[in-house]
Chain A
Amino acid sequence: MLSFILQRTGVMILTAICLTFVVFFLTNLEPNLEKLAKEQANNRMTDEQVASWLEKNGYRRPVLVRYGEWLGGVVVGDFGHSTVFDTEVGPLVAKRLGYTGKLMFWVMIVMVPSALVVGILAGMREGSITDRSMSSVSILSTATPEYVSGVIFISVFATSFGGLKWFKASAASATNGITFENFTLPVLTMALYGMGYIARMTRASMAEVMTAQYIRTARLKGVSFRTIVIKHALRNALIAPFTVIMLQFPWLLTGVVIVESLFNYKGFGWTMVEAANNNDIELLLSCSIVAVVVVLATQLISDIGYVYLNPRIRVR
């Protein structure tokens, strides 16, 4: 098991190096550098001024040398300097990730249980009316991206158009303290899109388990339907959704960016948008490291968790 984890960590580091180099290359393309120079110095610079600014600030040295310098800094824990926020990248990203962590925590609390309940209710009696209606709900939720459901929620719950002014359309104040009023809509918006997919996977897995021999045996023995579902089916049916939930994390990253811009919540996604809009090279590199680690770490956890949940599978 240990060598398995070590091997995966090695792959993770290799991937992170490849990806950050791609990001570095893209951010150092001529138009992007020009954008950076204009944002940093003066918006109305002439081409010559841009060129001399870039020369003066060391952006003209070979790309590989500068990438090497950045990489050397990362190894000793120095993630560089953010041009747009004018601070150290490390503490900045950590702080913003903390805000996003809060959002994710509440999203998970809302999304996972509701998705599992919908999936199990739909899958335990395949083809019934409950199944049909629950499946329709989950299809509808997968068809509603965050920027659609967000606008709908805002119009219904936060404006005079829907008449219900229950919540706020902006979560900007949530960085100071979460309240029911400013955090409900972002959490709901994000949870809704991911919910449908998990619910559909749970349904499929539950429906498959319900046709298994041991369920039929239990039924023939006269065990009540309730006990069958809770004691026999549930545990086996939850293996597949576990993997799906873990693999859902990377997906949530795009969602985080959309929801945080939509509700003006200044977390990690919002920071990434700011960094990209202003071509903040070192901040973008750190953002991509975070993204890679999130994607690959969740893959690793889901693989390991799968082994523990399903004793039929063994890691070599």
Chain B
Amino acid sequence: MEPLGLTGIVSGILLQLLPVFVCLIIVIGLSIMFKKNLSLYGRLFDSTIGFIGFTIIAFWIVTALLANWIAPFDPSANSVTMSWAVPGAIEPKAETPYFLGGDKLGRDVFSRVIYGSQTVLAIAPAATLFAFMMGIVLGLPAGFIGGWRDTTLSFLANLVLAFPVILLFFLLVTPEIAKESLFSIGGIGFTLPQSIAMVLFLFPIIFMLVLFTSRFSTQPQKMWLYLLVTTVVGFWIYFGLVFDVDPVGFWSGLMDPNMLNIFVSVVFVNSPTVFRIVRGVTMDIKTRDYVAAAQTRGETSWYIMLWEILPNARGPLIVDFCLRIGYVTILLGTLGFFGLGVSSESADWGLTISDNRQTFLLAGVASKAHTIIAALTPALALMSLVLGLNLLADGLREQSLKD
């Protein structure tokens, strides 16, 4: 069968993405309708930059959610006949076109890019959130109380920051390390990533517990209820993610050893920067009158840190959160580019870029110029996602400065 022409390809892709566009229009339409009640999120739609950024990100989120319906092919289904197929070539069995051609193993490039968004959008925001929880729990006391705690924590943060990120990843994110146990307690072996995760993943739970204790210490009933719920839910997730054991089975399989390894490394290298930002903002805010007022009222240090300082530091933190997701996305791409921590089957963007670039540069394939599309598409996808996050951060900064 004849491959599709350019118009055929473009209209085919647009048709394939139609569900995404419908969802986008609904989300944006509703948001604009109710934007007066949505505070900062609503005001985002007043700035052009923020609006564009939001649209790009929403596009990728919806695409990742609907990937099963949008992608015409299985991202890891090989096909001998479709190896290095031209864009728009028709797959004989399914009689559906490979819109952007095939790669070396004859997998559909378009479907792989669509599925690739899932990994990135699952790990990047979650890892950033964990890094923030850790940075906040450690940065607030370092900035507010100071003294030897500050000196020690700052030295540790600088230590991690001085570490070449890429070297750490090369040493830590190898499949062997994720399998071999480092030490064992009672006959159960723990791998290195697991041992780091054991410490890192405690921070979100500590954060929530301290948050509720400091707020509701005058209402013991409410406090104990919240603490109980946090502990149960927190440790359910904790054991599910770190040790892959949970009675309900909801979290099991979500974090395979490699995924945990990547996640832990990304949180580890990002938290010191968050720590420094939180520490800096805290040192600035702690001289304000409302902090002095709270101290005079006799509030505890943690109450002041979490319920007086943190809400007032939200501006820079939200902006950095968006930028940091973008940075983590780039980092994940770098990992994939060096083939670290991802299986060769996975549709990870970084890995796809690297794979297809290498085969493209080999002499035999270089004559078929279209094969670079297989490397170019995930590259552009990653770029647009990071661009969207940067624009969103700029829009948020613009709007939060208006207060």
- A interface vs B, CB < 8 Å? 15, 18-19, 22-23, 26-27, 29-32, 34-35, 139-140, 142-145, 147-148, 151-152, 154-155, 159-161, 169-170, 250, 253-254, 257-258, 261-262, 272-273, 276-277, 284, 287-288, 291-292, 295-296
Contacts and interface: CB of A to CB of B under 8 A. Distances in A.
A161 to B, nearest CB: 4
Contact of B166 (A34, A147, A254): A254
B180 A31 contact: yes
Interface stretch (B107-115, B233-241, B332-340): B332-340
A32 B353 contact: no
A143 B386 contact: yes
Interface in B308-357: 326, 330, 333-334, 337-338, 350, 353-354, 357
Contact of B376 (A31, A34, A35, A152): A152
Contacts of B180: 29-31
Nearest to B386: A143
B166 A143 contact: no
B85 interface: no
Interface stretch (B64-72, B134-142, B156-164): B156-164
A291 B164 contact: yes
Interface in B76-103: none
Given A19-B159, A254-B334, A29 B177 contact: yes
Given A19-B159, A139-B390, A145 B176 contact: no
A151 B353 contact: yes
B135 to A, nearest CB: 19
Contacts of B376: 151-152, 155
A23 B165 contact: no
Contacts of A30: 180
B370 interface: yes
B167 A284 contact: yes
Given A18-B159, A31-B179, A139-B391, A253 B350 contact: no
Interface in B180-217: 180, 182, 192
Contact of A147 (B167, B334, B366, B386): B334
Contact of B337 (A23, A32, A147, A295): A147
B45 to A, nearest CB: 19
A32 B376 CA distance: 34
B178 to A, nearest CB: 9
B120 interface: no
Contacts of A18: 159
Given A139-B390, A254-B334, A148 B379 contact: yes
20 contacts: A15-B159, A22-B163, A26-B172, A29-B192, A30-B180, A31-B176, A31-B180, A144-B386, A145-B330, A145-B386, A147-B333, A147-B337, A148-B379, A151-B372, A151-B375, A151-B376, A160-B369, A257-B166, A273-B170, A292-B163
Interface of B: 158-159, 161-167, 170-172, 174, 176-177, 179-180, 182, 192, 326, 330, 333-334, 337-338, 350, 353-354, 357, 360-361, 366-367, 369-370, 372-373, 375-376, 379-380, 382-383, 386-387, 389-391, 394
A147 B354 contact: yes
Nearest to B370: A161
Contacts of B163: 19, 22, 288, 291-292
A136 to B, nearest CB: 9
Contacts of A276: 167, 170-171
Contacts of A145: 330, 333-334, 382-383, 386
A261 B338 CA distance: 9
Nearest to A269: B166
A30 B367 CA distance: 45
A228 to B, nearest CB: 25
A151 B382 CA distance: 12
B166 A148 contact: no
A287 B372 CA distance: 34
A256 to B, nearest CB: 9
Contact of B361 (A19, A169, A261): A169
B158 A23 contact: no
Nearest to B165: A254
B162 A291 contact: yes
Contacts of B177: 29, 31-32
Contacts of B350: 147
Contacts of A161: 369-370, 372-373
A152 B167 contact: no
B172 to A, nearest CB: 7
B176 A34 contact: yes
Contacts of B158: 15
Given A151-B372, A258-B166, A292-B163, 13 more contacts: A18-B159, A27-B171, A34-B176, A144-B386, A145-B333, A148-B333, A148-B382, A154-B357, A170-B361, A253-B166, A273-B338, A291-B164, A291-B167
